[in-house]
Amino acid sequence: MARLEIMIEQLIANGIVYGCIIALAAIGLSLAYRILNFANFAHGEFLTLGAYFALFFAANLDLDFLPACLLAIAATAAFGVVLDLLAWKPMRSSGASRTAIMILSIGLSIAIRNGLIIFFQPDALRFPLPVSQGLDINGILVTSFQIAVVLIAFAAMLLVHSLLSRTALGKSMRALADNPNLARISGIDVDRVIRYTWAVSMGLAALAGIMFGSITHLNPNMGWSIILPMFAAAILGGIGNAYGAMAGGMIIGITQELSTAILPAEYKIAVSFLIMIAVLLFRPRGLMGGS
Amino acid sequence: MLDYLVSIVLTAGIYAIFALGLNLQWGYAGLLNFGHVSFMALGAYTTVLLGMHGVPLPLAVLAGMLLAGASGAFLGMATLRLREDYLAIVTIGFSEIIRFLLLNWSSLTKGSFGLFGYPRPGENLVGAMDYNLFLACLVIGVLALVYALLELLARSPWGRVLKSIRDDEAVSMALGKNSFYYKVQCLALGSAIAALSGSLLAFYLQYINPNNFLPLETFYAWIMVILGGSGNNRGTILGAFLLWGFFSGTRFLEGYLSFSPSATSAARMVIIGLILIGLMMFRPQGLLGDKEELAIGR
């Protein structure tokens, strides 16, 4: 009996780590959905991009891993602003519909994923990190990286919370989400707020991608491979609701890991899908109410 | 030369049928099906598995279409009362799930090993030499049939209601049309057409494995539909042949470039992605498209 308990606790611990990554990714997805008003199918590639930026900077600029990660997050956020100027903004101002913008995001996702295959080969790569130390907490095995992932993710979520609730930018973001026209006539620079939204959304995606890469490995498909749990988390929390995305991510992460106690591990991802369908059928606005 | 022509007709023709199913959903009704390939996979695997167990092939094909249609209807019922992006999210997820199932349900599907040596229609009547020619004629016949059916539907009251829903759902609801059921029917029919193309693909390839049904295949269909002009069936068929031309053209160029095979196919995909981006930014109505027929509004 004790062994079963330990196994369950171990799965929950793994689920929390995985859930943190999904949650960070889902916050960015949900923010973009709320403020830009479309489901961004290229979000997975932004995770991948962040991870590969970190690898590239660490290898080619002779940086330590941490500064390389910070630079990678900044670079991904900057890429988000450039993308807005090159693609999303022209689409907005030409009055393109939401569906056209979503199809564009699919094209972007295909182009980035395969661009990375050209530059980095399709093979799995690893960050230049030492082998992480294993710790035994009452029979539950965790690595130092996993603990770092959880701590950093919670710090990032706190930061997002204070950004949304305490700063003028956060207020403008919420105003824009609630009523774009009202926000515009009350003097909010809409394009500027949108650029910041992209920067925050993609910076969080880069962080999630780096975390995902450091506890597993990097490959050009990594972000795409978790797009389903990301959307499931965002929908479960109520799409458009950043706090819901955090909770949704944790629930999805823990449920997926727990499911491996009774199902073959290959079917983990199907659990996200079932949760998503169940939420859409019975509670489409999500647990915490979305837009 | 004839062999070459036959292979064009087979590949482009099968993909044209596949894309026509999507055009019904997207071009007529504005439904965002981002997992079209899953219905093709369902059709291919159902037909092959039933065929291997001795079920007559016409029945096996029909069973694939029914299964795909029912799955499409189910996904539609879960999402079509909500905003249009939910269907996109759920179908893209469904196409990943189906591929995972095919990969991991080894006792049934042999996983990544794939299935081969299954019965094909008319194998006893036609010699192995002429088989592809026979199959090409069958594909043209099916393509013509599907095309005729869709054109007929477009002009029928049913098709007109669909287009009115696409253009302004509130108006058609006010006229007493239950737009939800029209959309579910449309999704089911388009998915069944995708399953039919999947059965034909399986007959042509003689070997199927889950990697024939990557999510990317869905977006080939999207490019075919959008290139030809959404809502335009002839345009969709033209789009299928254009995309086929792009693939064989780049394959021809491969001989002159010294890229690794993975880099060449990735470069091709980058171009596919850029075509989608470019079409959305500069010519959302496609080559033959009519702006008035455009589901992605003004």
Residue B277 domain-assigned (yes or no): no
Q: Tokens for B56?
A: 């007559």
Of the pLDDT bands very low, low, confident and very high (cuts 50, 70, 90), residue B294 is low
Which residues of chain B have a CB within 8 Å of the CB of A235?
86, 89
**CB distance B266–A117 less than 8 Å?**
yes
Long-range pairs, A277-282, Cβ under 8 A, ≥24: A277/B78, A277/B90, A279/A232, A279/A235, A279/A236, A280/A235, A280/B78, A280/B79, A280/B82, A280/B86, A280/B90, A281/B78
Q: Tokens for A169?
A: 């930018």
- How many CB pairs (< 8 A) connect A and B? 133
B68 or B134, which is more confident?
A: B68
Residue B151 domain-assigned (yes or no): yes
- Can you give the pLDDT at residue B64? 94
Q: Which residues contact A155 (CB under 8 A, 6 or more apart)?
A: none
pLDDT tens-digit profile of B88-121? Answer: 889 999 998 999 889 888 888 888 888 888 888 8
Residue B200 domain-assigned (yes or no): yes
**CB distance B89–A269 less than 8 Å?**
no
State the Cα–Cα distance between residues A125 and B173, nearest whole angstrom: 54
Residue B272 domain-assigned (yes or no): no
Which residues of chain A have a CB within 8 Å of the CB of B101?
270
Instruction: Single out the residue of B177, B172, B196, B175 nearest to residue B66, CA to CA.
Output: B196
Nearest-CA residue of chain A relative to B281?
A91
Nearest-CA residue of chain A relative to B75?
A277
Q: Does residue A5 have a pLDDT over 50?
A: yes
Residue B50 domain-assigned (yes or no): yes
Q: Tokens for B212?
A: 């024939």
Mutation choice for B interface testing from A113, A118, A230, A274 by most B CBs within 10 A? A118
Which residues of chain A have a CB within 8 Å of the CB of B277?
87, 104, 107-108, 111
What is the pLDDT averaged over residues B254-273? 78
By Cβ distance, the residue of B32, B216, B267 closest to A102 is B32
Residue B105 domain-assigned (yes or no): yes
Which residues of chain B have a CB within 8 Å of the CB of A98?
84-85
Of the pLDDT bands very low, low, confident and very high (cuts 50, 70, 90), residue A124 is confident
Q: Does A168 lie at the interface with B, CB-CB under 8 angstroms?
A: no
Q: What is the b/e burial string over B152-178, where b = at least 16 CB atoms within 10 angstroms of the residue's CB?
A: ebbeeeebebbbbbbeebeebeeeebe
Mean pLDDT of chain A: 89
Q: How far is B230 from chain A (nearest CA, A)?
A: 12
Structural domains for chain A? 2-282 (1.10.3470)
Q: Which residues contact A41 (CB under 8 A, 6 or more apart)?
A: A102, A105, A106, A109, A227, B34, B88, B92
- Can you give the pLDDT at residue B133? 87
- Can you give the pLDDT at residue B215? 87
Q: How far is B3 from chain A (nearest CA, A)?
A: 32
Q: What is the extent of the structural domain holding B78?
A: 2-213
**CB distance B86–A281 less than 8 Å?**
no
State the Cα–Cα distance between residues B261 and B246, nearest whole angstrom: 17
**CB distance B88–A41 less than 8 Å?**
yes
- Can you give the pLDDT at residue A76? 96
Percent of chain A having pLDDT more than 70?
98
What is the pLDDT averaged over residues A23-42? 91
Q: Does A201 lie at the interface with B, CB-CB under 8 angstroms?
A: no
Q: Does residue B136 have a pLDDT over 80?
A: yes
At position B263, the amino acid (one-letter code) is: A
Q: Does A86 lie at the interface with B, CB-CB under 8 angstroms?
A: no
How many domains in chain B?
1
What is the pLDDT averaged over residues A87-101? 87
What's the full length of chain A, in residues?
Answer: 291
pLDDT tens-digit profile of B149-203? Answer: 999 988 888 888 888 877 777 777 777 777 788 889 999 999 999 999 999 999 9
Q: What residues in chain B have their Cβ under 8 A from chain A's Cβ atoms?
A: 30, 32, 34, 78-79, 81-82, 84-86, 88-90, 92-94, 96-97, 100-101, 103-104, 216, 219, 222, 226, 262-263, 266-267, 269-270, 272-277, 280-281, 284, 295-298
By Cβ distance, the residue of A39, A90, A110 closest to B85 is A39
Q: How far is A10 from chain B (nearest CA, A)?
A: 25
**CB distance A277–B90 less than 8 Å?**
yes
Q: Does A281 lie at the interface with B, CB-CB under 8 angstroms?
A: yes
Instruction: Single out the residue of B294, B278, B281 nearest to residue A93, CA to CA.
Output: B281
Q: Does A284 lie at the interface with B, CB-CB under 8 angstroms?
A: yes
- Can you give the pLDDT at residue B298? 36
Lowest mean pLDDT: which of A238-242, B102-106, B222-226, B278-282? Answer: A238-242
Q: Does residue B290 have a pLDDT over 70?
A: no
Q: Tokens for A123?
A: 């093979």
**CB distance A87–B277 less than 8 Å?**
yes
Which residues of chain A have a CB within 8 Å of the CB of B273?
106-112, 114
Residue B284 domain-assigned (yes or no): no
| ipTM exceeds 0.90, yes or no | no
Which residues of chain A have a CB within 8 Å of the CB of B85?
38-39, 98, 102
Nearest-CA residue of chain B relative to A220?
B266
- Can you give the pLDDT at residue B297? 45
State the Cα–Cα distance between residues A270 and A258, nearest whole angstrom: 13
pTM of the model: 0.89
Nearest-CA residue of chain A relative to B97?
A270
Lowest mean pLDDT: which of B22-26, B179-183, B256-260? Answer: B256-260
Q: Does A119 lie at the interface with B, CB-CB under 8 angstroms?
A: no
- Can you give the pLDDT at residue A281? 84
Q: Tokens for A253?
A: 């992460």
